[in-house]
């Protein structure tokens, strides 16, 4: 039985059939697909380190940061979850160099089937990683935008018709019914044609001829009722690993949202 120790980070996923997952622990990447069906013990030591500055903290914020880093870093700004509020052009970005690298890059506006139909945006360089992180079973790019702000404004228009959120419990209970994403995109764009025409111009281009991506996850069995493990209260998981989807490990007795516990120092043993 191998025992590995280190600070957790978000799962690393690669598009394959099924998706290939690795669990980062410190400087190690632990392959997970071959661990399905095996006993998986994860013990939290009580120590947390900020994933940005590395200092030891008692509580983490925004999936792994200390409070000073949340106040300081552009990656923790509100515009990261509400891209239509991007304020780089106003000259008030917390880290202009970071903003140029992450916000002034081509973005994709897409439809996905996670717990149902949703709209979302991501940097072009993050396709298909963003879809895998969300647990999407299907995805279809529908627009390409030159900046995060432009993509965010387009998303605001489209989410008047389609949710931009995933019901994580529903997503973890099984595969959603397949959707005709090209047909859904056609209907959606027709509903908001006037607003889309007003937004059209330099930097925004509709994508035609894109083929929906179908994604299969390594899951042996989905839970009938979704219970989430809480490392702050339970400190140890000793359970059978039954699947991996999105950023969740699915066990016989519950699920673990790995990204939520980024920076937690843990010990993992797999039988």
Say if residue 47's pLDDT is above 70: yes
Average pLDDT (188-192) is: 92
Confidence of residue 35 (pLDDT cuts 50, 70, 90): very high
| Of 5, 2, 8, 7, nearest in space to 247 by CA | 8
Segments in 73-140 forming alpha helices (H):
96-102, 129-134
Q: What is the pLDDT of residues 91-134, one digit of tens each?
A: 999 999 999 999 999 999 999 999 999 999 999 999 999 999 99
The per-residue pLDDT for 243 is: 98
Q: Dump pLDDT digits (tens) for 136-189.
A: 999 999 999 999 999 999 999 999 999 999 999 999 999 999 999 999 999 999
Q: 24 to each of 63, 172, 246, 263, how far by Cα in Å? A: 15, 22, 15, 11
Asked if pLDDT for residue 1 goes beyond 90, the answer is: no
Q: What is the mean pLDDT of residues 214-242?
A: 96
How high does pLDDT run on average in the chain? 96
pTM: 0.95
> pLDDT band at residue 198, thresholds of 50, 70 and 90?
confident
Note whether 7 and 26 are within 8 A (CB): yes
Residue 122 and residue 124: Cα distance in Å, rounded? Answer: 6
Query: Per-residue confidence at 2, pLDDT binned at 50, 70, 90?
Result: confident
Q: Which of 7-21, 52-66, 166-180, 199-213 has the lowest mean pLDDT?
A: 199-213
Secondary structure class of 115 (helix, strand, coil): coil
Q: In this structure, what is the dihedral angle of CA atoms 243, 244, 250, 256, given to the nearest 10 degrees?
A: 160
């Amino acid at each position: 039985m191998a025992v590995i120790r280190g600070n957790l980070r978000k799962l690393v996923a690669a598009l394959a059939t099924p998706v290939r997952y690795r669990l980062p622990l410190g400087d190690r990447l632990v392959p997970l697909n071959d661990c399905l069906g095996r006993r998986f013990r994860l013990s939290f030591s009580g120590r947390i380190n900020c994933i940005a500055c590395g200092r030891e903290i008692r509580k983490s914020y925004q999936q792994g940061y200390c409070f000073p880093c949340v106040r300081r870093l552009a990656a923790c700004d509100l515009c990261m979850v509400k891209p239509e509020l991007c304020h780089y052009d106003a000259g008030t970005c917390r880290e202009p160099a970071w903003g140029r690298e992450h916000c002034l890059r081509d973005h994709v506006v897409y439809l996905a089937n996670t717990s149902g139909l949703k709209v979302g945006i991501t940097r072009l360089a993050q396709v298909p990683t963003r879809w895998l992180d969300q647990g999407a079973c299907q995805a279809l790019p529908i627009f390409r935008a030159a900046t995060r702000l432009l993509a965010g404004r387009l998303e605001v228009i489209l989410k008047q018709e389609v949710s931009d959120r995933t019901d994580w419990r529903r997503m973890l209970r099984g595969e959603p019914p397949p959707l005709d994403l090209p047909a859904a995109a056609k209907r959606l764009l027709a509903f908001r044609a006037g607003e889309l025409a007003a937004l059209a111009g330099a930097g925004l281009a509709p994508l035609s001829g894109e083929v929906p991506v179908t994604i299969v996850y390594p899951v042996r069995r989905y839970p009938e009722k979704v219970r989430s493990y809480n490392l702050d209260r339970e400190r140890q998981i000793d359970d059978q690993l039954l699947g991996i989807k999105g950023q969740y490990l699915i066990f016989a007795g519950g699920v673990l949202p790995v990204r939520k516990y980024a920076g937690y120092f843990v010990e993992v043993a797999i039988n």
